[in-house]
Structure 1
Amino acid sequence: MFEDVPPPSAAEGTGAVRGVAEALLDGAVLDAVFRQAEVGLHVLDRDLRLVRVTGAVLAARGVAAEDVVGRPAAEAYRVFGIEVKESVLREVMDGGTPLREVLVPGRPPGDPGRPHVYSVSVYPLRAPGPGGREGPSIGLVATVMDVTERVRTRQRLGLLYEARERIGRTLDVERTARELVEVTVPGFAGSVVVALTDAVLRGKPPELRRKGEAPLLRCAAVGGSGDGRADGPLPEPGEVLLPGLFGARLPEGPELVSVDGDVRLVAPLAVRGQLLGAVAFRRPPWADPYTEDDLAPADGVTAHTATCLENALRFTREHVVMTALQSWPLRPEGESRHAVEVAQRHRPGGTGAGSWFDVIPLSGARVALVVGQVERPGLSSVATMGRLRTAVYSLATLDLAPHELLARLHGVTQRLAREQTGGHGVDEPSASCTIALHDPVTGRLDLARAGTSLCVAVRPDGSLDADLVEEGPLLGGDGPPFACSSHVLPEGTVLGLASSPRDGGGPPLARVAAALASPGRGPHAMADDLAGILAPERVLLVARTLRLPAGDVAEWEVPGELSAVGPVRHAAEERVREWGLGVDPLTVELIVSELVTNAVRHGAPPVALRLLRGESTLTVEVRDGAPTAPHLRHARAGDEGGRGLHICATLADAWGVRYETDGKTVWAEVALGDPAE
């Protein structure tokens, strides 16, 4: 009656047992996941009804399973405080791209007053098809994670990062206050009021905070959405604000303050116990109010802003001092108009602090052009610059050669370094300096340079000489010998001197030559063109060389005999009368007589006398070949000589000696009055 059914083979029996075991294991895993896992795992059928959800999530949300299981997705998730679009879920069901970590806002029933953020991922569930291929979608599986804290932490870090990137980059107090508003509106606040103390707004140091004292605050910056209903009443910049805007008292740190029923986040702007101001953040009535979680990011932003304000105050004070120290006037043009036509450009302060220029008139109608720069810009460099500039002026009046002047200035720089560092050799100041000495009688230019700088000459034919003098060691560095050179330049040659750039770069020499090309242009136009291609912090001096007119120079060779003194003296007197100068010819005659007599008696041949007619002075120069130094002595009552230099010092307004390689020149200057009638 019954057919014999063969028993299953051993292989088939083993496979069946394995299949049952795997099915049991899969069921156990799913049961463990849905009962114990804290990750929100949701399963929806083809009709987008929620058929299964993780039990731990239901317990954490305070939701019963019967309130959500079996309901449509939109209705079920509304119980969780999440709004979903079923059209998006249907698109995934029908083969669209799965959703991965989409951030969705929500308000769970267990915490309705606090907004939450969920990370949602949705994938299709597919039935197995023939041949191991995937079959049609039979539902969806979704993972839902509460990432509120992660998102808020990221937002706080983003706010702090943006504050550090955007606040305090201008080193301007009022601009820093406006940057705080720009960073926090509208992301962190709907409206912001930044108030600063009256002292800070006037550039003075902040005062220490005193408990119970209401500081005087003025509105420095304000910003909002522009909707008066949302922003509420906002003060005008400059308006005096009492702590009432920030509550009954100014808090010691960030606090949530209720003002007329409106909750604001108020934070002081303070550094090391010094109060700079305060900030009031406000959100519109329909936005989520501030909570304790917002105090930390507000503290970070305001602390950074307070530090930036302190830096801006320090910079402002130092800038004012540096500008006052470095904004020196150019010396009167009349003092050097016969030697050079000068134009200068300088922007004091900033990275150019510590740079200087000078135009120093010297004896014999000569002029010294100086450009220098103290390394390491800052307030101390400006002070060092002032002392070096004074030293250069004093040394230049000794009629030293440029390289000798730099050698002595090097010693001054080293002495200043020891005074500033206490002899420890840490951050010793050093400086670069270029000195050009021009003689309008001969056209000779003597140069010396310490360190690097722009030093070029453009001749009237347009040719450029960028190798006037080699670079030398810095003042205060390796020291002498310093590079020096001499040139004879044609009249109308344009000299360009500029302090060394902080970045070590510079414009191409072709552009420099084009800027200093002089046909039909004055030094000021050339200085404007050259300043346009140089870094703004560089000190610039442009000078066009001149020659003293031949009619303003009178020279005589003097034989080495005392009998020659008389004729030369009378010739000088006659020339002064011809010139019609406002000076007593007898005074000139006495000075010439004494200087020539000393040169013949104590000097060495050749001896020469030269008169130079200037705008306001007459210069008497006697040159001889002896390097010995004359000195002023006081003769006794019975002495027949020894009164020559004393007479010169009494009659002349200034006198001195300058030395050359083959002798010396003793000179005396007499101020000119009104021309003789």
Structure 2
Amino acid sequence: MSRNHAPLFTLDGTGQVVRWSLGAERLFGRRDEEAVGRSVPELLSTGPPDGRWLVGRVPGGSGEPEWGVWRAGEDMGDLDEAVLDAVFDQSAVGLHVLDRDLRAVRVNPVAVGMRGVAREEIIGRPVVEVYATEGVTGVESMLREVLETGRPVRNVLVRFHPRLDPQHEHVFSTAVHRLEDGSGQPLGVVVTAVDVTDRERAQARLRLLHDVHERIGSSLDVERTARELVEVTVPGFADSALVALTDAVLRGQAPDLVTEEGAPLLRCAATGEADDSAPVTEVGTVLLPGLFGDELPKAPTLLPTGDPHGDGPVGLRLVAPLAVRGQIFGVVAFERRSTLEPFGPDDLALADGIVARTATCLENALRFTREHIVMTALQSWPLRQERTTQRAIEVAQRHRPSGRGGGSWFDVIPLPGARVALVVGQVHHAGLSAVATMSRLRTAVHSLTTLDLDPHELLARLHATTRRLAGEQGSAPRPGEPTASCTFAVWDPAEGRLDVARAGTSLFAVVRPDGSVDPEPVAEGPLLGADGPPFASATHTLPAGSTLCLASAVRDGEAGPSTEQLVDALRHPDHGPEQMADAVQHLLAPDRVLLVARTRLLPPDELREWDVPPAPSAVAQARARAAELVADWGVPVDPFDVKLVVSELVTNALRYGAAPITLRLIRSDRALICEVVDSAPTAPHLRHAKAVDEGGRGLHICATMAEGWGVRYADDTKTVWAEVALAP
């Protein structure tokens, strides 16, 4: 390997020197003109230096063979020294050579230039002491461990503010290796340092952007999103942060457009300080526009803080708009004081990425907030029971909204004849459109109840309404694609009769006073908007004190209560409706609604009925009995009006109806209800009689004297009714 280097001197074939190197001059003490042309014995007459010698053939310029002479090992020492000199003088890596006492014995120019410390301040002094004044601590133990064990350490990051750039923190990647002699004994250590400040700053920016995308926008809440922005950026990006949102955004309204004229009203939505002792702006405070400059910035901007003409320090505030597609949601202001270096161009680009992500999350949160407000308004139903229904049932209602717009609803609707309708429904798609559909279906149910239809007929018409609503939205359901489920039940406290129809899989159970539970009093029916009628229906005669439990259907992906769980929760007839509702509610998923109703029967002092014989004289008898009953009850009505209405209804039944005929009077808080039941399917209708007609004025008289009138049908009977309002 040594022959790869120039020989000390070269001999020709006769043994005479033909070339003499500078190394040979230093080694033998003879100049070139004294050595060339002489023989080796003459040159070495005083004896060669100690050591081993190597002789080998080298290419010659004359074509004759020439021989080179090397001193063994001498050429490699020169090479090592040359390499070491090159590393110290030309390397871009900072180098410190320390002895066994960790004193600096040699440093290269790069190491001196990196830190701005003079070479005279380093050489001969403990390196730990030299750099302690620069803020570098905790490295002595690492250096001594390498010196004692010989195990090198690499990629140790050291952070401090060098003298050449005291305003900015620099990061150096250091490595420590032990120096040993030929026998392996430690001579000291060598420390290498590379300035990786730009790399670390770039990685820190990437980490911050990753945290921004991971942590901001975790909830669809405007104020929570603003707080998340502060939590992510303080203290890593700034010593303090203040997020101001427009008053419209905080109230859930549409954001203002970015304009050249003026600035919207801004309120503090979130603020944070790295120093707990620093004053914090109170959330909700109205902020002056000057905090963010003369006008709202359109891009991240640096603004001076403090009075440039005063004695206090002047710094920079980074202000950035929270805007999306020309809509301004607010502004954020960052400040750095003592712990972090001043903002720079890279920080402006980073802030732009932070506010862009936050503004998008605010837009999503605001859209959700606005939809939630609309859904809450649409999905509001009366939570108090009307007095007109309390004579027939006692109701407990439950609803636990989740904010997703479940599209569930319930209603307790008073019907003629002291009857009560119980309705529970569920639109099978969550969201604002489901709530809107729910509201329209609920309105349709209220309208259809005025027709006094049987429950299954009402669901058939509600099905047609559902299909029509889907068609208006341009998404008519395909076969097998459900839209809504609904259970409609009518309780008649006069007869103790329950008529119920069911579309879909709404929960419905009946608990009798003896504690027996019927979890399936009516079969499941097709869904509204899907297959359509006929819908499952059933009729039950129930004693007073029975309990009806209705709940909206389970949405796809949810699990409803099992039959055993439902029976266990309901098999306590001694519990009131409120207790039963509490027991069932925890079995239901959020957004499902629950109705628990305890049935009642009308007492004798509120209900009286007579059979009417099919004879003309029966009209006078019915009129007399009605007048007598009104007097006994002390009902505040005009007896003449009651006698006239009863007379016309009974006459109409005798003339156009069929036996058996029954007259029924029902007393309520608002009216005296007169009902006549007969077995003829013919429907009475209001008409205007001519002056010469002897009849045809009965229903016209009833419509004039009564608060309202109507007709409803059962399987083999019909009931014509009229309500005479009580005096105020």
TM-score by length of 1: 0.81
The Cα shift of 1:425 comes to 8.2
Aligned to 1:154: 203
Matched, 1:219 2:268: yes
Aligned to 2:30: none
Q: For 2:388 and 2:127, locate their aligned partners in 1 and report how far apart those are by CA, in whole Å.
A: 94
The 1:339/1:136 distance shift into structure 2, 3 A limit, reads farther
Matched, 1:580 2:629: no
Once structures 1 and 2 are overlaid, which stretch shifts more, 31-40 or 95-104? 31-40
Residue pair 2:266, 2:287 contacting (<8 A) in 1 also: yes
Matched, 1:625 2:679: yes
One-letter amino acid of the structure 1 residue matched with residue 707 of structure 2: D
- Counterpart of 2:300 (choices 247, 254, 264) is 254
SS in 2 for 1:645: helix
Instruction: Please list, as runs of the form range in 1=range in 2, the aligned pairs for 1:445-524 lying within 5 A after superposition.
Output: 445-502=498-555, 504-507=558-561, 512=566, 516=570, 521-524=575-578
- Counterpart of 1:191 (choices 222, 237, 240) is 240
The 1:269/1:425 distance shift into structure 2, 3 A limit, reads farther
SS in 2 for 1:350: coil
Residue deviations 1:48-90 (CA, integer Å, cap 9, x gap): 5678999999999999999989986547878999666232121
Q: For 1:544 and 1:596, locate their aligned partners in 2 and report how far apart those are by CA, in whole Å.
A: 34
The 1:141/1:634 distance shift into structure 2, 3 A limit, reads same
Once structures 1 and 2 are overlaid, which stretch shifts more, 68-77 or 179-188? 68-77
Matched, 1:302 2:355: yes
Q: For 2:265 and 2:399, locate their aligned partners in 1 and report how far apart those are by CA, in whole Å.
A: 39
The 1:624/1:25 distance shift into structure 2, 3 A limit, reads farther
The 1:20/1:609 distance shift into structure 2, 3 A limit, reads farther
Instruction: Please list, as runs of the form range in 1=range in 2, the aligned pairs for 1:193-592 lying within 5 A after superposition.
Output: 193-211=242-260, 213-226=262-275, 235-260=281-306, 261-330=314-383, 333-346=386-399, 350-352=403-405, 354-421=407-474, 430-502=483-555, 504-507=558-561, 512=566, 516=570, 521-532=575-586, 534-562=588-616, 564-592=618-646
One-letter amino acid of the structure 2 residue matched with residue 159 of structure 1: L
User: RMSD of the alignment, in Å?
Assistant: 4.2
Q: For 2:367 and 2:722, locate their aligned partners in 1 and report how far apart those are by CA, in whole Å.
A: 50
Q: For 2:83 and 2:542, locate their aligned partners in 1 and report how far apart those are by CA, in whole Å.
A: 99
Aligned to 1:606: 660
The Cα shift of 1:302 comes to 1.9
Q: For 2:710 and 2:577, locate their aligned partners in 1 and report how far apart those are by CA, in whole Å.
A: 32
Residue pair 1:376, 1:429 contacting (<8 A) in 2 also: no
One-letter amino acid of the structure 2 residue matched with residue 323 of structure 1: T
Q: For 2:163 and 2:287, locate their aligned partners in 1 and report how far apart those are by CA, in whole Å.
A: 42
Q: For 1:20 and 1:501, locate their aligned partners in 2 and report how far apart those are by CA, in whole Å.
A: 92
Structure 2 unaligned regions, length at least 5: 1-72, 307-313
Residue pair 2:405, 2:432 contacting (<8 A) in 1 also: no
One-letter amino acid of the structure 1 residue matched with residue 608 of structure 2: A
The 1:569/1:239 distance shift into structure 2, 3 A limit, reads closer
The Cα shift of 1:460 comes to 2.6
The Cα shift of 1:32 comes to 10
Once structures 1 and 2 are overlaid, which stretch shifts more, 135-144 or 183-192? 135-144
SS in 2 for 1:336: helix
Once structures 1 and 2 are overlaid, which stretch shifts more, 333-342 or 527-536? 527-536
Q: For 1:615 and 1:424, locate their aligned partners in 2 and report how far apart those are by CA, in whole Å.
A: 45
Instruction: Please list, as runs of the form range in 1=range in 2, the aligned pairs for 1:93-172 lying within 5 A after superposition.
Output: 93-95=147-149, 99-107=153-161, 113-122=167-176, 144-172=193-221
Q: For 1:514 and 1:352, locate their aligned partners in 2 and report how far apart those are by CA, in whole Å.
A: 30
Residue pair 1:83, 1:106 contacting (<8 A) in 2 also: no
Q: For 1:50 and 1:480, locate their aligned partners in 2 and report how far apart those are by CA, in whole Å.
A: 97
- Counterpart of 1:90 (choices 131, 140, 144) is 144
The Cα shift of 1:663 comes to 3.0
The Cα shift of 1:238 comes to 4.1
The Cα shift of 1:490 comes to 2.5
Residue deviations 1:452-482 (CA, integer Å, cap 9, x gap): 3332333333333322333333322332232
SS in 2 for 1:305: helix
Q: For 1:643 and 1:418, locate their aligned partners in 2 and report how far apart those are by CA, in whole Å.
A: 44
Residue pair 2:662, 2:677 contacting (<8 A) in 1 also: yes
Residue deviations 1:277-316 (CA, integer Å, cap 9, x gap): 2222112235322222222222222222223333333333
Q: For 1:447 and 1:464, locate their aligned partners in 2 and report how far apart those are by CA, in whole Å.
A: 17
Residue pair 2:401, 2:590 contacting (<8 A) in 1 also: no
SS in 1 for 2:723: strand
The Cα shift of 1:384 comes to 2.5
One-letter amino acid of the structure 2 residue matched with residue 350 of structure 1: G
One-letter amino acid of the structure 1 residue matched with residue 657 of structure 2: G
Residue pair 1:512, 1:530 contacting (<8 A) in 2 also: yes
Residue pair 1:341, 1:543 contacting (<8 A) in 2 also: yes
Matched, 1:659 2:708: no
- Identity of counterpart residues, as a percentage? 61
The Cα shift of 1:128 comes to 9.3
The 1:485/1:70 distance shift into structure 2, 3 A limit, reads farther
One-letter amino acid of the structure 1 residue matched with residue 695 of structure 2: G
The 1:568/1:212 distance shift into structure 2, 3 A limit, reads closer
Matched, 1:634 2:683: no
